Structure 1
Amino acid sequence: MTITLHSPRTGKQAAAPTPRHRVLWLVAACLVCSAAAASAQPKGERPLVDLKGTDLVGGAQTQFGSTQYGERHVNHVSAKPTGRFATMTAKRILAAVPDAPMFLHLLGCNNDVGGQCRIDLALNGTPLFAGPNGFPSAQFRWAKFSVPEGVLRAGANELRIENTETTGALGQPPWFMVARAMLGPRDLPLDRRPKIEQDFFVELPETELPLPTPLPAGREPGFALRGTKGWMWLPGQYLAELPTLAEHGGNFLMLCYGSMWNLEGYPEWPERNAWWLPLPEKKRQAYLELLRACQERGVGLCLSMNPNLSSSRPLDYGKADDLDALWQHYQWFQSKGMKWFSVCLDDISQGIDAAGQARVVNGILQRLRANDPEARLIFCPTLYWGDGSGSQAPYLETLATDLHPDVFLFWTGDAVVTPQVTREAAEAYRARCQHRLILWDNYPVNDGNPTLHLGPVTGRDPALGEVCYGYMSNPLHSESELNRMPLLTCLDYAFNPRDYDPARSIGQAILHVGETPEQRQVLRDLVELFPGMLVYGKGTGHNPVTERFDQMLDTPHSRYLASLYLRHAEDVAGRLATAFPDRFGAARATLDRTLGRMRQAFERQYPPAAR
């Protein structure tokens, strides 16, 4: 066992801003998270696990606050008589166990009245340390503890920190505090920047590197199927995004079932979702061109249909004529060489009948396989999220027994839209439904709302590929061209989830999308304005720019700060138009709508006459 104490973190003090720029500097540093104000990422190896103290479950953080002695995100354990406040734990999944020796690095602090509080540290039930903690009082310091060989394991690993003092009350010493815990090699950089999920800012790399991150020799891609879908896209949008998908490790592209609706306004279709009618010939030919382009690039194009959403004539699971009407679309695309197909019955309010749905899906698969034994079919069930427990169980258990075993199921993760997708939830859901899963990741989708989600995908378990066969990103709507940046990070994760680093990935994505320094800098600033709903734990319609602006307006005496933030957003919009005069038109329109809302809110609160 090795215990080593390190000196406290130190950093260079930034030069003081001039009076003329002091407020702008403050806004840029504190509200806009400008990369120009951020320190460089330290070089060195990445931790296997990186936890804030507040990530540890238990302890007394909720009783006395989480800011102590200059450190935020602090948790602490009190003496044993305090019961649940004496222990804190964290469970994390490791995709694999490194060959090199590993260490637990703790940023900790002893209680502030002298005397050394006794603690136990254990990893997977194996003691790493027991006794007086050795940390200073009233000051945080790093220490590292060696992890014995064989303690770490692929899968779930649990860290446990316990105060073993036998006397003491809640709120009184002895206690022990933890601000951060990392698992990694001996010489892990301890002053590295927080994870991008904790403090979002983007550092542009100096060198453009391949995306996705190459795999080590002998390792297979994390997911066999890797790709995206459209979101009410038109044929030209799919064609425009196909090169990016194919050139960056993607091998799957699904036609949004909304794309099969009458988005183009064809007069021969009486309504939006007339699934029982043949597709207009012009629409067929447009998608045939896309199918041929996908075949040339080795990307599997997948047809999807949802006959029960936004339809005046929902599919009757018991009517043979309805099955024939639905089948005509699959039959036509299969006759042109398509191999992948999907039946979607998500987000519906009619026909939530697992047995009836299974009969329809089985019928489609039977017809597909009669023509092509290699045809693949994916079903999106009505209950497509969660761990399969509770009220979901009867529905999924019916699919387990009635649905053909070769059918894949779409699954969106622990929730419909979620900052975390865990292996545990995937395993539980798959155990309930008894079918292979394809993760339908609801990121960076905006569901047509006037907002952008441009940051990297985060919070996806590196071992999900061991449970899910495929990964499919759900994209932005009209802003499909700008969607390339977050899509590149999704493909990076899906190809090499073990080595995926979201901060590195979004930096490289910007370099791949932009060509000149000016283009890359404005894309970075735009991403920092719209980091994505995963960072905030919000829904698809979340607009962080307007939310942040509203928070400023709600703060007394904030007119000048709000005006500076508005000017910054206007500056980004102007530079985006200048750097990309012929590109990102839909995204620029979305940004203009955001600016319009901000201007209206500002003028309501601060009318011109009052200024």
Structure 2
Amino acid sequence: MTASPFAIRGVIEGFYGTPWTHEQRLELAGFLGERGMNTFVYSPKDDPLVRQDWRQAYSGAELARLSELIERCAAHGLDLVYCLSPGLSIEYSSESDRSLLSEKFDSIADLGVTSFGLLLDDIPGELQHPSDRSVFAGLVEAHARLVGDVHDRLAEGSRLFVCPTQYWGYGDEEYISRLGQSIDPRIELFWTGRAICSATLDLADAEVFAKATGRAPTYWDNYPVNDVAMRHELHVGPYRGRDRELFRSSRGVIANGMELFESSKIAFATIADYLADPAGYDPEESWHRAIAAVAGDDAEAYTVFADNVRSSCLAAEDAPLLQHALESFAFESVYGDPEHAADELDEVADRMLAAAERLLRGPARTRRLVAEARPWIEAFKIGARAVKCVVELYRSGRLGSDGPTELAPFLGRIRDLRVRVFGDVLDMTLSELIVRRPPAENAQPTPTPHSKEAAS
């Protein structure tokens, strides 16, 4: 097996939401190690000892769990990067605060950790403490001083990763340029690319960052994470949009996971494939292998489902198979062979229904994966029934009637679930069919059922 051209390949637990369990982290170490990853960055936003209570030391069961995780990572060839996020409360000019930060890192070093992260993301963009404003000209000076102090106090041979407050953009903005030029070039700098969730990571952009900061970026890639405003999305599509030559001016990629641990594994597996062989990486082939590995006996059903939740920051595609079938049916019903198109659309609906039934009620061996995705799978099932209803209305000659009322409950139920399935494809189709023709002048509106049973 050819060695990866990326020095750093891994995952960060850096999302907002319920942190992964200790057991999940232990399992992840094996999952990543088997796929050639070499780094796990520990930084759950909602772990108080990392962010809100960063000054507090680990003790008791918390210390024991962290120690076990460090040992498990080492056993699978992973470097655990332990991070602290002190930026919400630290007084940069305070010797006491800087000492407490270094002492916290030292206590983790005693457990065998040699890589540390100082995360200054998602904090106020201006100095908050009056004492800091009297000492530093601005945020970048305070951060340069803090980063340098932490780095100097780490034991020889230790590594430091830093997430700057400005962690996305073109890579040569004033803050990131000045910070990069002010700190030791051996310090790794996280960067998310052109956007917080970047559609592409390009070699040219990496070169801009490297020139401006004095080091190649380590990409904190916000995929498959789906926190904050993305909670309605399920990011289980393949990794894509990353330059095949990115390794030429990048230290590597650290992928930020979802709170949905089992579902994250699908994207992680494809990311591992890209990092192992960016030149030969095929997103679709990798994706099918990943689903087979994660979903096991339910892989076929899960693939049918996952094909309808493809859209994310990496891909504009929503539901390619269903979209093709709907477009073909719309065209053929007017200009070609409507019976054949209806049969094809009916077949797609049957496949989706069978997949939903398998995942929701079948002998699923991947219960945790299905449980995480249940809201999306339920919306998927309702959508499949809606497509089936479209075909039935066509065959009964009622599809072109004055707004067939049978479709409205399906559309209402899918919208009520507030999860993104089918993207805009099915919603637009059903909306158009429901209002296709205005009612006759004297027609009375037909009551439309909105109960859950009507759409199930």
| Residue 608 of structure 1 pairs with residue 383 of structure 2 | no
Q: Give 1:395's match in structure 2, choosing from 175, 182, 193.
A: 175
| Residue 533 of structure 1 pairs with residue 312 of structure 2 | yes
The one-letter amino acid paired with 1:320 is E
On the 8 A contact 1:315/1:322 being kept in 2, the answer is yes
Determine the C-alpha separation between the residues in 2 that align with 1:586 and 1:402: 48
Q: Mark the runs of 5 or more structure 2 residues left unpaired by the alignment.
A: 128-138, 331-341, 384-408, 417-430, 435-447
| Residue 445 of structure 1 pairs with residue 230 of structure 2 | no
The one-letter amino acid paired with 1:221 is S
Distance change (3 Å), C-alpha of 1:482 and 1:397: closer
Determine the C-alpha separation between the residues in 1 that align with 2:346 and 2:48: 43
| Residue 591 of structure 1 pairs with residue 366 of structure 2 | no
Cα shift at 1:229:
1.3
Q: Which protein shows a greater Rg?
A: 1
Cα shift at 1:537:
4.6
**Matched residue, 1:179:** none
Superposition TM-score, scaled by structure 2 size: 0.70
The one-letter amino acid paired with 2:372 is A
Cα shift at 1:244:
1.1
Determine the C-alpha separation between the residues in 2 that align with 1:399 and 1:490: 29
| Residue 334 of structure 1 pairs with residue 144 of structure 2 | no
Cα shift at 1:289:
0.8
Determine the C-alpha separation between the residues in 2 that align with 1:527 and 1:432: 40
Q: Give 1:472's match in structure 2, choosing from 254, 261, 270.
A: 254
Per the alignment, in what secondary structure is the counterpart of residue 482 of structure 1?
helix
On the 8 A contact 2:11/2:41 being kept in 1, the answer is yes
On the 8 A contact 1:260/1:305 being kept in 2, the answer is no
**Matched residue, 1:35:** none
| Residue 365 of structure 1 pairs with residue 145 of structure 2 | no
RMSD of aligned C-alpha atoms?
Answer: 3.4
Distance change (3 Å), C-alpha of 1:287 and 1:569: farther
Per the alignment, in what secondary structure is the counterpart of residue 382 of structure 1?
coil
**Matched residue, 2:72:** 293
Q: Give 2:215's match in structure 1, choosing from 420, 435, 440.
A: 435
The one-letter amino acid paired with 1:284 is L
Cα shift at 1:361:
1.4
Q: Give 2:90's match in structure 1, choosing from 286, 291, 315.
A: 315
Determine the C-alpha separation between the residues in 2 that align with 1:298 and 1:432: 33
Distance change (3 Å), C-alpha of 1:498 and 1:417: same
Q: Within 5 Å, which residues of 2 pair with 1:73-152?
A: none
Cα shift at 1:326:
2.2
Cα shift at 1:450:
3.4
Superposition TM-score, scaled by structure 1 size: 0.53
Deviations 1:180-209 (A, max 9, x none): xxxxxxxxxxxxxxxxxxxxxxxxxxxxxx
The one-letter amino acid paired with 2:209 is Y
Determine the C-alpha separation between the residues in 1 that align with 2:269 and 2:77: 18
The one-letter amino acid paired with 1:395 is Y
Determine the C-alpha separation between the residues in 1 that align with 2:346 and 2:106: 58
Per the alignment, in what secondary structure is the counterpart of residue 190 of structure 2?
strand
Q: Mark the runs of 5 or more structure 1 residues left unpaired by the alignment.
A: 1-213, 264-271
On the 8 A contact 1:573/1:588 being kept in 2, the answer is no
On the 8 A contact 2:359/2:370 being kept in 1, the answer is no
On the 8 A contact 1:241/1:481 being kept in 2, the answer is no
Cα shift at 1:563:
12
Q: Within 5 Å, which residues of 2 pair with 1:51-62?
A: none
The one-letter amino acid paired with 2:9 is R
Distance change (3 Å), C-alpha of 1:521 and 1:563: closer
Per the alignment, in what secondary structure is the counterpart of residue 242 of structure 1?
helix
**Matched residue, 2:421:** none
Determine the C-alpha separation between the residues in 2 that align with 1:564 and 1:259: 45
Determine the C-alpha separation between the residues in 2 that align with 1:356 and 1:236: 38
Cα shift at 1:596:
9.9
Cα shift at 1:446:
0.7
Q: Give 2:357's match in structure 1, choosing from 574, 588, 597.
A: 574
On the 8 A contact 1:450/1:594 being kept in 2, the answer is no
**Matched residue, 1:512:** 293
Deviations 1:270-303 (A, max 9, x none): xx72222223532221111110111111110111
Deviations 1:365-395 (A, max 9, x none): 11113xxx21100101111122224xx2x21
Cα shift at 1:570:
6.0
**Matched residue, 2:191:** 411
On the 8 A contact 1:414/1:422 being kept in 2, the answer is no
On the 8 A contact 2:245/2:279 being kept in 1, the answer is yes
Distance change (3 Å), C-alpha of 1:507 and 1:581: closer
Cα shift at 1:585:
5.0
Per the alignment, in what secondary structure is the counterpart of residue 473 of structure 1?
strand
Deviations 1:10-61 (A, max 9, x none): xxxxxxxxxxxxxxxxxxxxxxxxxxxxxxxxxxxxxxxxxxxxxxxxxxxx
| Residue 502 of structure 1 pairs with residue 283 of structure 2 | yes
Deviations 1:113-138 (A, max 9, x none): xxxxxxxxxxxxxxxxxxxxxxxxxx
Determine the C-alpha separation between the residues in 2 that align with 1:585 and 1:331: 41
Deviations 1:371-423 (A, max 9, x none): xx21100101111122224xx2x212321332122111011122221221110
On the 8 A contact 2:307/2:319 being kept in 1, the answer is no
Distance change (3 Å), C-alpha of 1:400 and 1:590: same
| Residue 302 of structure 1 pairs with residue 81 of structure 2 | yes
Determine the C-alpha separation between the residues in 1 that align with 2:94 and 2:319: 47
More helix by share: 2
The one-letter amino acid paired with 2:412 is F
Cα shift at 1:431:
0.8
Distance change (3 Å), C-alpha of 1:535 and 1:396: closer
**Matched residue, 1:226:** 9
Deviations 1:214-270 (A, max 9, x none): 43xxxx41201111112333322211211110001111000124153269xxxxxxx
Determine the C-alpha separation between the residues in 1 that align with 2:369 and 2:280: 31
The one-letter amino acid paired with 2:211 is A
**Matched residue, 1:347:** 122
Cα shift at 1:476:
1.4
Distance change (3 Å), C-alpha of 1:434 and 1:590: farther
**Matched residue, 1:74:** none
Determine the C-alpha separation between the residues in 1 that align with 2:124 and 2:284: 40
Per the alignment, in what secondary structure is the counterpart of residue 223 of structure 2?
strand
